Amino acid sequence: MKFLTSGKVKDIYELEDGKLLFKFSNRVSAYDVKFKDEIPRKGEVLCKFAKFWFNNLTDQYGDEYVPNHFVKITSNTEMIVKKMNMLPIECVVRGYFYGSLVSRWINYGWSHRVFGREIGKLPPLASQLPKPIFDPTTKLSQHDVPVTKAQAVTQQLVTSNEFDLLREKSIKIYQTMAAIVSKSGFILADLKLEFGKLNDKIVLGDSIGPDEFRLWPKNEYEIGKVQQAYDKQLLRDWLTENGYQKKFDDARKKGEEPIAPSIPSDIVSKMTQRYVTAYERLTGNTL
């Protein structure tokens, strides 16, 4: 087994047969900043959520709809996947007016120019969009940047046809997952997916869990308000409320590396509880 890389959450190894081993950790990041504090049981939830979603999507639609690289899990925090060439683009689908979409719209007008016809006038915070929108970003180690189709093609991230295929598949996956989530009493606000190429075929990869989507409880959902998060948005909200998001942005503007603060113990324990609750309610399995 050969160590390849250590990401924000996963450590990746190459096995003797050419497959990859993902080791999910309890590490956490937010606003592209890594924290020293860990979230207990997070790695286990992410690993088992990935298995649930990969299997569920394949079971419902068959390999022709959404092939993926999942092979099997070998422990509570370890998963074997097929090795493939990952595409340098993160496929974000947004179903609600929330997160960075709001700040970009208000501060820069970027979203209004791109999505004006799809969204209309400035919507209320957390309101459902008329239809899910594809809002991809670059995939950089430091800070992801939103890209249009023209930019993605010009930067040679993907071809024009690949961009269209990724948009179509990503939106269909979001809609499928949103329907499953809804039956469990949650709202899937948005979703980040990653794809790669395996034998020249575009395949769903990476993992799918609370680090890749926003999950809100239906019974507490209220338009115009900050939503109760059953994902790492809980940490983002604490950082924003305490001025750390601005500090991170200011540091980057100066060319400096943002410094992560310590996460309060009550936020850590609440994140663990909500990660576990989300998994158990969605899957029907007990951790």
Verify that 48 and 10 share a domain, yes or no.
Answer: yes
What's the whole-number mean pLDDT along residues 105-118?
A: 71
Tokens of 121: 């006038």
pLDDT reported for residue 244: 96
The 3-class secondary structure across 102-127, one letter per residue, is: HHHHHHHCHHHHHHHHHHCCCCCCCC
Verify that 115 and 231 share a domain, yes or no.
Answer: yes
Instruction: Read off the pLDDT band of 271 (50, 70, 90).
Output: very high
Contact 146, 104 (CB under 8 A): yes
Question: Does residue 110 carry a pLDDT above 80?
Answer: no
Where in the sequence is the domain holding 215, given as residue range(s)? Answer: 85-283
pLDDT reported for residue 248: 94
Verify that 162 and 278 share a domain, yes or no.
Answer: yes
What is the tens place of the pLDDT at every residue in 210-230? Answer: 999 999 999 999 999 999 999
Which has the minimum average pLDDT: 34-43, 90-99, 120-129, 222-231?
120-129
Domain boundary among 59, 81, 103: 81
What's the whole-number mean pLDDT along residues 266-286?
A: 96
Report the CATH number that the domain containing residue 186 is assigned in CATH.
Answer: 3.30.470.20
Contact 144, 90 (CB under 8 A): yes
pLDDT reported for residue 111: 62
Q: Report how many domains make up the chain.
A: 2
Verify that 68 and 89 share a domain, yes or no.
Answer: no
Verify that 28 and 40 share a domain, yes or no.
Answer: yes
Of 54-58, 66-70, 250-254, 261-265, where does the model show the most confidence? Answer: 261-265
Instruction: Read off the pLDDT band of 64 (50, 70, 90).
Output: very low
Domain boundary among 19, 53, 81: 81
Report the CATH number that the domain containing residue 77 is assigned in CATH.
Answer: 3.30.200.20
Query: What is the distance between the alpha carbons of residues 132 and 251, in angstroms, rounded to a whole number?
Result: 33
Verify that 258 and 193 share a domain, yes or no.
Answer: yes
Contact 22, 78 (CB under 8 A): yes
Domain boundary among 24, 54, 81: 81
